[in-house]
Structure 1
Amino acid sequence: MPNPDHLSRLDQGRDAWNAWRQANPDLVPQLRSAPLAGRDLRGFDLHDAYLRRAHLQGARLDGCKLREANLSGAELEGATLTGAGLVGANLRAARMHGADLTGADLKSAILVGTDLTDARLDGAQVYGIAAWEVTLDGAGQRDLLVTRPDQPRITVDDLEVAQFIYVMLNHRKLRDVFNTTTQRGVLILGRFGGGGLEVLRAVADTLRQHGLLPVIFDFERPRQRNYTETVVTLAGLCSFVIVDLSGPSVPQELQAIVGATLRMPLVPIVEGERKPAAMLADFAELDGYLGPPIRFDDIPALVAQLPARAIAPAQAWLARRRDKLAAIEG
């Protein structure tokens, strides 16, 4: 429950409240679950205020100072927060359906599980924001400012993309990891049963010997995405794909990679006299298809063929593509 004295002071109006805050700079207003729906709080100094689960539906908070305020779980449906200062504010699990955050300062704010359905975020400052599992259905997200005021302006139209851009701009190590993965990563797909995993691991060992970074898809099904979506995501982070078509489990994922229009080399391998999926013939016309399949009777025979029939052709294809893109850009 809110502190009765603090709630009473809030009732005295903006000037009296702000004077009280100024005279007590270290005091934290305790307004947990406060009944503030529809209240006119424009210009109120609520920095550091404890407003957890406060009822602020339809409240007017234009230009309100809410720096470092705890608004986790707060009810803010239809609230007006245009130009509000929410730097470092905790909006975890806040319900902000239809809230107007146009031009709000959300730098370093925490938005985890926040419901921003039909909210307006146009022109908000989102540098350093933590946005995870945010509901943004129907939300306006134009011109979100990713950079600090002292940096060149970079704006995007998606809150989650803004967070990604921020991370890429400000974490050099992450950029280096991303660049390394896209330049040296190789996705290896295939069957895991019947000795298939040993084949994939042997391929991975050979790739390591040539300075490449193997990525074997061998983990439990993600909770929020099916296998095919995850494979396509991994493929997009790698330079080329080696796919074992000796079993029945991979064609669907391979079709998804091709359907996602990822232009990258595809190197098929097939054990013994097994017949690969019929759809393999459809991939032969792709410029990135490096066939015919590499056939092998055992792992040593496969490993012996990989440098000349998989690694070298894939790297040559990638070099030609880089040269072509450079010519287009230059």
Structure 2
Amino acid sequence: MRNNWAMTFSPHRIAVLALDDVVGLDLGTPAQVFSTARDAHGRSLYTVDVCTPGGRPVRSTAGYQVLPDHGLELIETADTVIVPGIHEGAPLTDGTLDGEVAAALRAAYDRGARIMSICTSAFVLAAAGLLDGRRATTHWAYADRFRRLHPHVDLDPDVLFIDDDRVLTSAGVAAGIDLCLHVIRTDHGTEVANRAARRCVVPPWREGGQAQYIERPVPKVADTSTATAREWARQRLHEQVSLRDLAEQSRMSVRTFTRRFRSETGLSPAQWLLQQRTEHARLLLESTDLSIDQVARRSGFGTASALRQQLHVRLGVAPSTYRRTFRHPLP
């Protein structure tokens, strides 16, 4: 029985499509992050392989060439296709894409594969026709260019990533890590994603969005961070934390604190608290046997009704449904 059970295990297959002028960090991110996701028996939950058009070498922005083991045929059997960012090429200059590459990406999506972009490869997905009518993001510095080339895409340059059904896009460079961890969390739950994040020595969930990284002509002032208040609030998610309480922790007026908080996190204090409480509730639902009422109280929602409403808005499911989905034992 044990042998038969073991034979049923099949890791999720990921194809990374590298194009000319591929960003070095973006190319390495999927293999690094997904290789750390393992089940309770220590088995890798994903396999990651790299392909290029025609299986030929492609240039990277890091001063080396990529010598792939596969051509575009790898995409035909992949469960997920990831396109790392690029720094040059037709997708960035005129919004077009090699016909063979575009056809391979569309065929993968049509047969049910998940399609992901890191950083500027949102231009690649848009040129393939996969983003029209969808919400998407890319590196904030390319937002104006993206809008000019692809006016039918609902671009949001203020977030770290967007998950729109089976098409996922991320912001610049390191946001690819956030997106990969999000996929692991979606596929296998918070505990597996958190372990993967620890192995990669990165936070399992970054606060806010790209707004906190966009260049602004604002003078730097020392000792004005709201980090102390955020950490204080994280330890008290089960309590009623007011804006005035948070401002007092940072020794600021409410007005100054609110402005500085949004500048640092990309969110208002209320939005940030709601995000933190939702993530804590998800973790409790996945990793404990607490009742829905207890989860609601410990995460700061107060009542099961309030928790149900928030999960429905953010995840589209009820707490009990979420728990059944993510408490399933790993294979």
TM-score normalised to structure 1 length: 0.29
The structure having more radius of gyration, on CA atoms, is 1
Determine which structure has the larger helix proportion and give its number: 2
Q: Which has the higher contact order (CA 8 A, sep 6+)?
A: 2
